[in-house]
Every structure is written in C-alpha cells, then in structure tokens.
Amino acid sequence: MQQQTNMTNMQQKQTTGNLRTSDQVGPQQNHGGHELFDAHEVISCLTGTIDQYVMYRQYVKDQELLNIMDRQQSFITNQYNRVVETLSTGQKPSIQATTYNMNQTHDVTYGLKPSQPKKPAQTVSDITEECVSSLLASAVKSVCTGTTMAALETTNPVLRRVFADSIPNFIELGYELFLYQNKHHYYQVPQLSMQDQTQMMQSYAPIQTAQMNQNMMQ
C-alpha cells in the first residue's frame, strides 16, 4: 500500500513539474517573471522622474511652478517607496496610500496665440519654466504609461493594486502641469470649427440595452 502511494506521488510530481500555486510560493515569491521586469521598469522610471524634479528646480523662479514641483515630488516619492516595499515583501505596504489633489482650477484657454517658433535649448540659460514644465509633464506621462502596462501584467494582487491605484493620481499630476502650461500659453489648445466639432461629437449613437437583452434571451 505504501509503495503504491509513493508511486502515485511520484507520478503527480512528474505531471505537475515545477508548477506551483500562489499559496505554495508565499507572498515574497508571488511574482511572475514578466511582472518583475515591468516592476523594475516602473521603479527606474520613478527614479528618473524624481531625479528630474531635483535637477530642474534650480532653473525655476516662478513660485507657482515650484509649489507644484514640491507637491508632485512628494507624491512620486511616496509612490516609489510603496512600490519598492511591496515588491520586496509581496504584502500591503506600511506606507499609506494618498490621493493627489492639485491646486489648479479646471479652466482651459482654447485657441492659438501668435508666438515665435520654438527650438531646443542650446545653453543652460535657455532653460525656462516653459521648458521645465514640459519636461516634467513628459516624465509623468511616461510613469503613467509604464505603470498602466505593469498593472496589466502583474500577478501579485497587492502589487497590482498598488500600481492600479496610482494611475488616476499620475493622470492628475499630468493634468495639473498641463493647466499650468496652458495658463501661461506654453501649451495652447486649438479647436475645430463648430461644424466639425459638432459632427465629431455626434458621430456615435448609444446601444439600446433593452433590445440587446431581448436578443440575448432568444
């Protein structure tokens, strides 16, 4: 009887090979290979973004932009620490999640104001608030994109939630920088003609859910 049991266990081991469930590997090992690569990309992107906030601060004189940078750097640093802790432990981070609340209004200026053609900075003295705010916006967009991709590939449920919960906040960071740029005419927003805009806005019709449910029951 014992020999038969041993044979059965050996056969099951040969069948499953190296397959293990989340319960068997424990929280620290509950990560897939693709997930780890993506997590490292996100951490690297967060690191580079924080570095940029630190480096570009010396070129900013506008107190409004400095305040935005301080608040955003604090939030990004908090998110960096949450990701690093969760990646190493596989468990809920000890650092509390926060919601980023910007101070900008939601007023957007539409239309194009005549301005000189832009070109890349050639010297350090060419770096202005317009340049810095644009660079930071690009960095935040990269973090948001990378975090979204990582959340879709992450198998550890806690790390996935840490990634997913941060995405709306990074969108808010990017939107705040856009509003700052738009207010100072750094980022102008053209509009379509009223006729074209109306046509675009009315190009689709809603699905009649009652009819759809009826078709599904047939």
Whichever domain contains 63, its CATH number is: 1.20.1260.10
Asked whether residue 199 is assigned to any structural domain, the reply reads no
∠ Cα 209 213 214 (to 5°)? 120
Tell me the percentage of the chain whose pLDDT exceeds 90.
Answer: 68
The structure's pTM equals 0.83
Asked whether residue 154 is assigned to any structural domain, the reply reads yes
Q: pLDDT averaged over the chain?
A: 87
Predicted local distance difference test score (pLDDT) of residue 8: 52
> Where residue 16 falls among pLDDT bands split at 50, 70, 90?
low
**pLDDT, tens digit (0-9, with 9 covering 90-100), for 102-159:** 988 899 999 998 888 889 999 999 999 999 999 999 999 999 999 999 999 998 889 9
Above 60 in pLDDT, residue 14?
no
- With beta carbons less than 8 A apart as the criterion, state whether 49 and 142 touch: yes
Asked whether residue 9 is assigned to any structural domain, the reply reads no
**pLDDT, tens digit (0-9, with 9 covering 90-100), for 64-111:** 999 999 999 999 999 999 999 999 988 899 999 999 999 888 999 999
Domain of 39, in residue numbers: 30-108+127-186
The structural domain count of the chain equals 1
- With beta carbons less than 8 A apart as the criterion, state whether 69 and 60 touch: yes
Residue 15: count other Cβ atoms within 10 Å of its Cβ.
8
Q: In which residue are the tokens 């000890």 written?
A: 94
- Which phi and psi (to 5°) does residue 95 adopt? -80, 125
Q: Letter for the amino acid at 144?
A: C
Q: Is 204 helix (H, G, I), strand (E, B) or coil?
A: coil
